Each structure stands twice: as C-alpha cells, then as structure tokens.
C-alpha cells in the first residue's frame, strides 16, 4: 500500500511537471533557461542574489520569541522579483523550486526538529490568492529535507490591518492577537522542536507573534526558516525610549 501511494505521488509530480514546466523560465528575470536549473533561477540571477547562511537578525535575537532564523538569501531586488512572480502573479508552481531551496538550507543545519509548520493566512486572503505560499514552501521543504510538515497547527482567524513597519510594538501586539494555535494541536505542540516556515522575514514581527503563541502553548523550541530575510533591519526606536 505504501509503495502504491509513493508511486501515485511520483506520478502526480511528473504530471505537475508536464502541466507546469516551471524550469523553462527563470522565476526571477523570466528569461528562458535550461531545465536543469532545479531551483528555478537562472545562473545570471543566481549570481546576483546575496545568498546567506547566517542569521542577519542575530544581534536582535533576544527581542524575538523564536530561537533561530535560517534564511537562504537577503531580501534584495532579485528575491523581491521572485516573490512577486510567486505570490502576486499567483504562480503556486514556483513553490516547488523555492521550497526545495528551503529544504536544502535546513539540511545544512545540524538539527533534528520534530516538524515543519507554516505561518497561516487569513481565509479570505487565501481564497483571493488561491494558496498560502508559506504552506506550499513548507510542503516542498519537507519533501526535500525528510522532516514532516504538519499543516493547520497555527490559525489566523483575525485579519491584520496593514500598518507601517515602524509601528513596531503596536504591530506586535496586534499581530499576536490575530494568530492562534489550533485547538486540535494544543496537546501536540507541547515539548516540540518546531520549524516555522515563512516566505520572507523583514521586521520579524509575524514570526515573533507565531513563535510566542507556540511557546505559550508549550513548544520547546521554535526556529524560523524563510526564503529571504532583511539585512538592514533596525530595532524599533520606540523600544529604546
């Protein structure tokens, strides 16, 4: 039975390749490229991306509820292009090469987390976009790394009003109230070592709100895995007053 399911999985993957030949065009510049580029990014763009394996928020870590931040690159011009093709243009197939990259990034770490979980999206927003990018990335990162992805652990019952990024503290408070640990997973979370997947981390406030809730629910450790993270993040000036 397991073999059969595996076989069906491989078949569906192959079918997805046929329907969405995602490696023909670069996710970043849109130029055609050899389909051997499994990450969906052409050599020219790949060279221009500031790939990072260190945590750019390291010096601010005591301000966050998450324990570690694993990022693939700095959120500059090229990664922005990739994210806009993926999210705004509504190309869910782009999740596969990017998710694979996330999985490979995770495998560079000497860690054994229990599961990957994703930053949730409000139902209405997800309906509009057609998919939750973090969930798709987590799914493919899980396939690559062999660490299981558990969907639906976090919920986002409340919508977040858009706020200026500089309104740090207000944003954090508001954000924390907009997420919830699913009642179904309240027990499951206890004592777990979790990897929270997000597409992009800028101020860190979303990841922080999610990690705080998970820790309050009893998670032992919460680290964040993202495609791109900001490099020039400055502490909230209000916090220094």
Task: Select the span of 38-46, 131-139, 141-149, 203-211 touching Zn ion (CB under 5 A).
Answer: 38-46
Question: How far apart are alpha carbons 25 and 31 in whole angstroms?
Answer: 5
Token digits of residue 171: 């944003």
Element spanning 72, H or E: strand 68-74
Please calculate the CA angle 158-163-169 and round it to the nearest 5 degrees.
90
Q: Binder to Zn ion among 29, 107, 115, 220 (CB under 5 A)?
A: 29
Sequential DSSP letters for 154-167:
EE--SPPPP--TT-
Question: How far apart are alpha carbons 214 and 120 in whole angstroms?
Answer: 13
Interacting positions 43-72 with Zn ion (CB under 5 A): 45
Nearest residue to 211 (alpha-carbon basis) of 61, 83, 106: 61
When the beta carbons of 27 and 213 are compared against Zn ion, the nearer one is 27
211 binds Zn ion (CB under 5 A): no
Size of the site for Zn ion (CB under 5 A): 5
Task: Select the span of 18-26, 97-105, 132-140, 149-157 touching Zn ion (CB under 5 A).
Answer: 18-26
42 binds Zn ion (CB under 5 A): yes
Q: How far is the CB of 223 from Zn ion (least distance, A)?
A: 30
Question: How far apart are alpha carbons 140 and 43 in whole angstroms?
Answer: 22
Q: How far is the CB of 45 from Zn ion (least distance, A)?
A: 3
Interacting positions 170-189 with Zn ion (CB under 5 A): none
26 binds Zn ion (CB under 5 A): yes
Q: How far is the CB of 25 from Zn ion (least distance, A)?
A: 9
Q: Rule CB under 5 A: which residues touch Zn ion?
A: 26, 28-29, 42, 45
């Amino acid at each position: 039975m397991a073999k059969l399911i595996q076989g069906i999985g491989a078949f569906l993957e192959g079918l997805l390749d046929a329907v969405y030949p995602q490696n023909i065009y670069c996710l970043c510049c849109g130029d055609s490229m050899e389909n051997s580029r499994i990450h969906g990014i052409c050599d020219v763009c790949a060279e221009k991306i500031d790939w990072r394996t260190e945590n750019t928020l390291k010096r601010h870590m005591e301000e966050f509820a998450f324990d570690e931040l694993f990022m693939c690159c700095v959120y500059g011009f090229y990664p922005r292009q990739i994210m806009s093709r993926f999210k705004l243009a509504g190309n869910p197939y782009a999740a596969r090469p990017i998710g694979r990259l996330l999985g490979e990034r995770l495998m560079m770490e000497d860690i054994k987390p229990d599961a990957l979980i994703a930053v949730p999206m409000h139902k209405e927003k997800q309906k509009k976009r057609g998919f939750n990018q973090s969930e798709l990335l987590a799914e493919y990162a899980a396939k690559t790394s062999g660490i299981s992805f558990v969907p639906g652990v976090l919920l986002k019952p409340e919508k977040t009003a858009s706020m200026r990024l500089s309104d740090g503290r207000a944003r954090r408070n508001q954000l924390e109230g907009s997420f919830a640990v699913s009642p179904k997973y309240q027990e499951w979370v206890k004592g777990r070592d979790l990897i929270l997947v997000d597409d992009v981390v800028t101020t860190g406030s979303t990841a922080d709100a999610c990690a705080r809730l998970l820790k309050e629910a009893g998670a032992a450790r919460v680290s964040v895995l993202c495609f791109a993270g900001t490099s020039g993040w400055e502490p909230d000036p209000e916090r220094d007053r």
